[in-house]
Amino acid sequence: MSENYSMTIGGEAVRAPGTFGVVDPATGEVAEQAPDASREQLDAAMAAAQAAYPAWRRDEAARRKALLAAADIMFTRSEEIGRIITLEQGKPLADATMEVVGAGVWLKYFADLELPAEVIQDDANARVEVVRRPMGVVAAITPWNFPLLLAIWKLAPALLAGNTMVLKPSPFTPLSSLKLGEVLRDVLPPGVLNVVTGGDELGAWMTSHDVPRKISFTGSVATGKRVAAAAAPDLKRVTLELGGNDPAILLDDVDPAAVAARLFGAAFQNNGQVCSAVKRVYAPASVYDDVVEALAEQARAAKVGEGTREGVQYGPINNEPQYERVGELVAEALAGGARAAAGGGPIDGPGYFFQPTILADVEDGARIVDEEQFGPALPVIRYTDLDEALARANGTHFGLSGSVWGADADRAAEVAAELECGTAWVNTHLALAPHQPFGGFKWSGVGVENGPWGLYGFTELQVIHRSKA
């Protein structure tokens, strides 16, 4: 195997009996090899995390210090780690570097976050305190769209709360997590963070393993349901951050030219491979044509290419199955009468490149509207009645986030309050921050990440009741 990447188990670099290929999506060719962990190696990682737990949970000062040191590494080595993300994920180097910087920002935020203890009674009878305790070993499973940042969304709060972790990234993007394990070996005591890589079955082994007390999962709805089912017999706690099909509703006082760039950015960031990207736009008939044209103009101006090339805004789609799926959804919509106002298909040549695509004259019922496309193709749907648009926006199993856009922000906020989703934005979309809880209604998830609420998800409540009688 390649000597470049090893797993981290008990603070040591560990090779696996076998490897699997990691494809550079800009070429479609295998560019690196990653370790394919055996079941015994997963057992060893779980045992190391369990062994590290008692000392780690007791030393809050060491935990805060370690998270700050980890943040520093993210800031100082952002380009080096960013290059790895570009190689395996495809996104432009500037975005990949920003992902690493973002990881540092999240680590710093959690390093300073307090875990409050509340005194809920203190009288002649008793002093009753409610505190939060860590859970033990956390199994963290992540997807391929933001491989490093989404791992840190789990690692920072889980470790701060006093848990230890076994992390398994997506088989499409294992390298940045392997690197994370490597760069944190000097910062974290052995066993506090273990990183193992392999195929989907490694994730299934983790969710049915008897060591972890908590599974923190980010990925698709279908896998999330499997994770919940696997966790149930052992009553493992779960946080599930799943897919979205975010609607953006434009009101009739919207200025299409004024919002087009932001709306386009929120739909096409990371090539549309964002759980809470705008995935369908509802535009009133009065401004429909202008909205479609303003978005199409943005799409035509977008620079697509290899993530390592200067000035590129959008890289390839991350992997072949996803590339095929986006192509299929777009082709099906076009065959069903939709019009490609911009783009409409793959870009010839090697790699998984796809034209930024704006689809007009498309309706609910088309798969590209009803399902999560997770790629660079955006349907724009015409409406005449706002209540009906709201009903269509909410008429899905998804409920991650959504947005409402209009000149009258108060009116837009009133409409946004009707959205059934975890985050409702007004005149913006995809505004995420470490202090803002993020999670989904309905099939988009269970629990939240970020902010104190995300931290609480890695704790159990404990009551300390001291009798004074």
Structure tokens at 152: 């840190």
- Distance between CA 150 and CA 119 in Å, rounded? 34
Q: Which of 32, 241, 306, 372 is catalytic?
A: 241
Report 156-175 residues binding ligand NAD (CB under 6 A): 168-171
Q: Which residues are CB-contacts of 328 (< 8 A; sequence separation ≥ 6)?
A: none
Q: Are 278 and 263 in contact (CB under 8 A)?
A: yes
DSSP codes joined into one string, 257-305: HHHHHHHHHHHHGGGG--TTSEEEEEEEGGGHHHHHHHHHHHHHH--B-
Q: Which residues contact 254 (CB under 8 A, 6 or more apart)?
A: 284, 287, 291, 405, 406, 407
Which one of 353, 354, 374, 398 is in contact with ligand NAD (CB under 6 A)?
A: 374
Stretch of 58-66, 119-127, 217-225, 247-255 lying at the interface with ligand NAD (CB under 6 A) = 217-225
Question: In the complex, what is the shortest distance from the CB of residue 206 to ligand NAD, in angstroms, rounded to a whole number?
Answer: 6
**Burial (Cβ within 10 Å: 0-12, 13-18, ≥19) of residue 224:** buried
Shortest Cβ distance from residue 112 to ligand NAD (Å)? 23
Q: How far is the CB of 140 from ligand NAD (least distance, A)?
A: 10
Residue 101 or 150 having the CB closest to ligand NAD: 150
Q: Does 227 bind ligand NAD (CB under 6 A)?
A: yes
What dihedral angle (degrees, nearest 10) is formed by the CA atoms of 154, 157, 161, 166? 20
Of 49, 184, 242, 366, the one binding ligand NAD by CB under 6 A:
242
Which residues are within 8 A (CB) of 239 and not within 5 positions of it... i.e. 6 or more apart? 214, 215, 216, 217, 439, 445, 446, 447, 448, 449, 457
Within positions 192 to 211, which residues make up the interface with ligand NAD, using CB under 6 A? 200, 203-204, 207
CA 410 to chain centre: 30
Residue from 185, 226, 411, 442 touching ligand NAD (CB under 6 A): that is: 226
Least separation in angstroms between residue 275's CB and ligand NAD is 3
Residue nearest ligand NAD by beta-carbon distance? 203
Specify the residue, 104 or 445, whose C-beta has the smaller distance to ligand NAD: 445
Q: Which of these, 250, 261, 259, lies nearest to 287 by C-alpha position?
A: 250
Instruction: Tell the smallest beta-carbon distance from residue 171 to ligand NAD (Å).
Output: 5
Position 141 contacts ligand NAD (CB under 6 A): yes
Helix 60-76 and helix 149-160: axis angle, to 10°?
A: 160
427 interacts with ligand NAD by CB under 6 A: no
- Coil, helix or strand for 241? strand
Check residue 244 for interaction with ligand NAD (CB under 6 A): yes
Is residue 426 at the binding interface for ligand NAD, with CB under 6 A as the rule? no
Distance CA 150, CA 445 (A): 15
Helix (H) or strand (E) holding 238: strand 237-241
Least separation in angstroms between residue 178's CB and ligand NAD is: 13
Q: Is 29 marked active-site?
A: no
Residues 314-373 that bind ligand NAD (CB under 6 A): 372
Neighbours of 79 (CB within 10 A): 13
Segment interacting with ligand NAD, rule: CB under 6 A, options 179-187, 215-223, 326-334, 405-413: 215-223
Among 19, 50, 220, 308, interactor with ligand NAD by CB under 6 A: 220
Angle at 353 between CA 282 and CA 25, to 5 degrees: 120
Cβ closest to ligand NAD, residue 63 vs residue 179: 179
Three-class secondary structure of residue 402 per DSSP: strand
Of the two residues 168 and 382, which places its CB atom closer to ligand NAD in the complex?
A: 168
DSSP β-bridge partners for residue 408: none
CB of 410 to ligand NAD, least distance (A): 29
* Residue range at the interface with ligand NAD (CB under 6 A); choices 11-19, 216-224, 378-386, 388-396: 216-224
Q: Pick from 102, 157, 219, 375 the residue near ligand NAD by CB under 6 A.
A: 219
Determine, following the binding rule CB under 6 A, whether residue 454 of this chain makes contact with ligand NAD.
Answer: no
**Total residues contacting ligand NAD (rule CB under 6 A)?**
30
- DSSP-derived letter for residue 359 is E
Catalytic residue numbers?
Answer: 241
By CB under 6 A, name the binding residues for ligand NAD: 141-145, 150, 168-171, 200, 203-204, 207, 218-220, 223, 226-227, 241-244, 275, 372, 374, 400, 440, 445
